[in-house]
A = this chain, B = another copy of it.
Amino acid sequence: SIQDSDLIILALPISQIINFMSKIKNISKSKSLIIDVGSTKLKIAKKADELKLNFVGTHPLAGSEKKGLAFSSDELFNNSKVLITPTKNTDKRAVSKIKLFWKRLNAQTVIFSPKHHDKILSYTSHLPHLTAFCLINSIPKDFLAFGASGLKDTTRIALSDVQIWSDIILSNRKELLNSLSSFEKQIKDLKRIIQKGNNKQLIQILKKSKNKRRIIV
**Residue A2 interfacial (CB < 8 Å):** no
**Residue A69 interfacial (CB < 8 Å):** no
Give Cα distance in the complex from A125 to B80, angstroms: 31
Q: How far is the CB of A117 from chain B (nearest CB, A)?
A: 9
Q: How far is the CB of A140 from chain B (nearest CB, A)?
A: 7
Q: Mark A168-194, 1 if CB is under 8 A from B, else 0.
A: 011001001101101111110011001
Partner of A212 from the list B120, B127, B141, B205 (CB cut-off 8 Å) is: B141
**Residue A9 interfacial (CB < 8 Å):** no
**Residue A46 interfacial (CB < 8 Å):** no
B-contacting residues of A (Cβ < 8 Å)?
A: 61-64, 80-81, 83, 110, 120-121, 123-125, 127-141, 143-160, 162-163, 165-166, 169-170, 173, 176-177, 179-180, 182-187, 190-191, 194-195, 197, 199, 202-203, 205-210, 212-217
